[in-house]
Amino acid sequence: MSAEELNEVLLLDLVVRGQPRLCPEIPEVWLAVDVSAVVDREDVERAQRRAALLRQAGYRAILVVGGERLTAGAEKEAGAVSVTVLQDGQVSGWEEALAALGMEDNPLQRKGWGPK
């Protein structure tokens, strides 16, 4: 990762790493989190770009956006990519984001979660 790319990743609001509690067979994942009071399309795109940099560096990164509200543009963009959305105390897209990590033998699909 170049210095410029590292600086871009460091602009994330939060980076969390750990193992998904409900699927201990899934290796460690990194959450690339962007937080705004109102999440718009640019927030989703920016977090997506930063999560992609983490993935290019070899980390299993999941894109997460959080806020009180999402604009229509953010909802549309989030629907086009695997995004976990934290909004007003609710979580959506988590299983899909985990399933999109591209694991060959995906334990989420064995449990009936994620895209079919």
pLDDT computed for residue 112 by the predictor: 47
**Residue 34 in contact with residue 13, Cβ under 8 Å?**
yes
Scanning the chain, the segments in alpha helix (DSSP H) are 3-9, 41-56, 72-80, 94-99, 107-110
**Residue 83 in contact with residue 45, Cβ under 8 Å?**
no
pLDDT computed for residue 110 by the predictor: 47
pTM (two decimals):
0.77
pLDDT computed for residue 28 by the predictor: 86
Per residue of the chain (116 residues), give pLDDT as tens. Answer: 888 999 889 989 999 998 877 777 777 889 999 999 999 999 999 888 899 999 999 898 999 999 999 999 998 888 778 889 998 888 988 888 887 776 534 444 444 444 43
78's CB contacts (< 8 A; 6+ apart) are: 44, 65, 70, 85, 93
For 107, the token pair is 């334990």
pLDDT in tens, 25-44: 777 889 999 999 999 999 99
For 82, the token pair is 């695997």
Q: 3-110: which CATH topology?
A: Trna Endonuclease; Chain: A, domain 1 (3.40.1350)
Q: Where are the domains of the chain?
A: 3-110
